[in-house]
Structure 1
């Protein structure tokens, strides 16, 4: 008998009512009532769907967000974009390296401050973003809208924005 099998047998002997892990549903208890837990579970499901939707373009939610901000705010510096999205500087630099290596954005050294870089979308970045926006609207957001309905979706976005602004 292997060590792990022996440990399982010992655990069953101590708790005979316990089912095998494959057969038992874990009771969440109060956890299912906690807003933070529920938000995280929903976020994971939404990100999974987003990644499936964006698979042809190989974009993560964070990368898509960066491209959207650069489209609306060309020439902003790295710190402004990272802070707006709540991305830590080392993570943001690595993400920019990846986007830049794919020719989706470019860093332009500031003429006023040689330590600072302004960010812009490349032509390829604009084209990829246009395709991504269509995919998100037609698939990902459409599924969420169908699930929630327009009124519930708007209410949820409002509630989440309130939490983000107040906390």
Structure 2
């Protein structure tokens, strides 16, 4: 029992219970915090002189991790003051381009679980950039819509992010476009490798089979003639 709860006096009667919220009610949005969805790296992954990195130097994934870390920090420099991560920016772009999209669709597009998509949506609605609206065709559902402040912020962010991306491509010169294609191909290969290692019940398009339960009934006695 919670020690902060007050004991109920014997003579006090309980009032009528409040009506439950409808099934389509919008969940409340918590106050936005900088770490509610994703935390930015604190420093670049620079090479430390004299440190033996062992197998890490030979791994493609570690090279990508260093590049991702550097890109993340440069993204925050380009969008300074907005407190927007690449994940939040991508979500705002998707909602802006797809008015009324379901939160589940956003989760699928962002590679998030339902809880992660809920936190991301709560952060955007807490900023006033996105709002939940009832579906006019189905009162049990609601969709995500960008607001006027969100559209203005998105326009600013898109200019900043495009300039950031163009600067990176210019620094890579002719290697920029092939690198982007190679990364997209790498994502496909890695996903195919992941699916090949999944059990049959975990692959998309298949339904897991239910385990059979042992019967709790006692066996029938043999018939006597």
Relative to the length of structure 1, the TM-score reads: 0.77
Find 1:135's aligned residue among 160, 173, 187. 160
Distance (Å, rounded) in 1 between the aligned partners of 2:139 and 2:170: 48
Distance (Å, rounded) in 2 between the aligned partners of 1:158 and 1:24: 33
Is the CA contact 2:170–2:176 (under 8 Å) kept in the aligned structure 1? Answer: no
Q: Quick check: which one's helix share is greater?
A: 1
Q: 1:34-45 alignment to 2 at 5 Å?
A: 34-45=59-70
SS in 2 for 1:87: coil
Distance (Å, rounded) in 1 between the aligned partners of 2:116 and 2:76: 19
Uncovered stretches (5+) of structure 1, i.e. residues with no partner: 1-22
Q: Which residue of 2 aligns with 1:160?
A: 183
Distance (Å, rounded) in 1 between the aligned partners of 2:125 and 2:92: 11
CA RMSD of aligned residues (A): 1.8
Distance (Å, rounded) in 2 between the aligned partners of 1:28 and 1:120: 47
Q: Which residue of 2 aligns with 1:109?
A: 134
SS in 2 for 1:48: helix
Q: Which residue of 2 aligns with 1:148?
A: 172
**Structure 1 stretches of 4+ moved >4 Å:** none
For residue 36 of structure 1, report the CA deviation from its aligned partner: 0.9
Distance (Å, rounded) in 1 between the aligned partners of 2:123 and 2:63: 32
SS in 1 for 2:144: strand
Distance (Å, rounded) in 2 between the aligned partners of 1:24 and 1:53: 29
Q: 1:16-31 alignment to 2 at 5 Å?
A: 25-31=50-56
Q: Which residue of 1 aligns with 2:210?
A: none
SS in 1 for 2:100: coil
